[in-house]
Structure 1
Amino acid sequence: MEETIAAAEDSQIAGQIPQQRGDSPQETAVRYAEERHWDVVPGTWLEAVRGVPRCSCGEASCSAPGAHPARPDWATQATGSATVVRRLWQKQPTAAVLLPTGRTFDALSVPETAGFLALARLERMSLTLGPVALSPDRRMQFFVLPGGSAKVPELVRNSGWVPASLDLVALGEGAYVAAPPTRFGGRGAVQWARRPTPANRWLPDVEELISALAYACGRDR
């Protein structure tokens, strides 16, 4: 029975990702602050070096080129003021749009394959999802109520899994997610697998998602 359900879910994994709006990083960051009341902060950006996009941090081996904090005090620089957001992005219009976690939301980061599998299962269960981001490094971030990240290890164990055996990362205070339209080097842009809408303004609790996410990550090992 479990194999039949898994096969049905696998058939949904190849669903189309919604097309992104063509707004600039500044316009999008302002919208996140105004419409979602999310704090935002500009990150690094891409610079062309001999025709090759390189991260503004200057590290040739940067693991997230153009998509990570640009300064050590980035958390204190984050703001929900649309006026301040406009001013910050005027300094560097192509800077990454970063959303600090642990404030208005936490996030659960899983491999892309596991993420799509979990999405299929959660939709079959008719659970209400919050926004879900898909990054070019082939990971998905599920937004949940703040404070949920601290509960993850115990919830995973209660679901019958060993936390260290799963590629499931809880992002809370002190962490961040890169949001659309942030670009990762030459790998493409962050997209919304489930975009923010009025219907998902109220985020799910981590307990509602953890079983499906842990199962999907277990299958993806």
Structure 2
Amino acid sequence: MEETIAGTESAQIPHQRGDSLRETAVRYVEERHWDVFPGTWLETAGGVQLCSCGDPACAAPGAHPARREWAAQATGSVTVARRLWSDRPTASVLLPTGRTFDAIDVPESAGFLALARMRRMDLGLGPVTCTPDRRMQFFVLPGAAAKIPGLVRALGWPPASLDLTTLGEGAYVAAPPTRVGSRGAVQWACRPTPANRWLPDAEELISPLAYACGRDR
């Protein structure tokens, strides 16, 4: 059985359970050459899903790094990825940014508006995630974090006025099919395909994203 995001194109992901997480992590390494690392996981106690970190007020239960040295743990090796998830098969699948891609993070409402505009403009899109916290993350070439403030200013927006951030070196994204507590799973709004293997530059997407975020204020 698969989950889909209503209104998106072929946005299908497997449910998060057991080996599917390990095999999904391995596919990200094999097919996209993305580094991956296992994060925390969900544990059920008294009928309630809690984060393995032990914090009952965890902001991202089951979907954040489990170790401080997570950046060093991230791997692009299929063999190592299989071993990491064999040790903890229910661990979330996390992807470090600032390596093979950066991610532009916007509110879901602005993201879908921008996505529709990008398709009308026939812009080349990379993968895009949709999180249970109603955020969307557009994957772009590395280096976007340094460019975005200047690009936003050039469009006439003070960067601080828009709910638009960039995840680059030292940050990470949760990848489908990672679940975030009881809120649901991270899903693909635009799933990885052979057609979007080559990522767009931030400069190609920033205009519709900034416009949509400005409308969404």
TM range (shorter): over 0.9
**TM-score under structure 1 length normalisation:** 0.92
Aligned pair partner of 2:46 in 43, 50, 65: 50
AA at the equivalent of 1:55? C
Q: Secondary structure in 2 aligned to 1:156?
A: helix
Aligned pair partner of 1:19 in 9, 12, 17: 12
Match of 2:3 in 1: none
Match of 2:79 in 1: 83
Match of 1:11 in 2: none
C-alpha contact (below 8 Å) 2:141/2:199 kept by paired residues:
yes
> How many residues are paired up?
209
Structure 2: how far apart are the matches of 1:210 and 1:109?
Answer: 11
Match of 1:34 in 2: 30
Structure 2: how far apart are the matches of 1:19 and 1:192?
Answer: 7
**TM-score under structure 2 length normalisation:** 0.94
Match of 1:125 in 2: 121
1:9-55 CA distances to partner (integer Å, 9 max, x unpaired)?
xxxxx724623135711000000000100000000000001110000
2:134 is aligned with 1:138: yes
Match of 1:220 in 2: 216
Match of 1:112 in 2: 108
User: What percentage of residue pairs aligned between the two structures are identical?
Assistant: 75
AA at the equivalent of 1:19? Q
AA at the equivalent of 2:110? A
CA RMSD, aligned part only?
A: 1.3
Gaps of 5+ in 1: 1-13
2:174 is aligned with 1:182: no
AA at the equivalent of 2:45? V
How far apart are 1:106 and its partner, in Å?
0.4
1:151-199 CA distances to partner (integer Å, 9 max, x unpaired)?
0001001011111011101000000000001000001100000000000
Q: Secondary structure in 1 aligned to 2:7?
A: coil
Structure 1: how far apart are the matches of 2:40 and 2:14?
Answer: 21
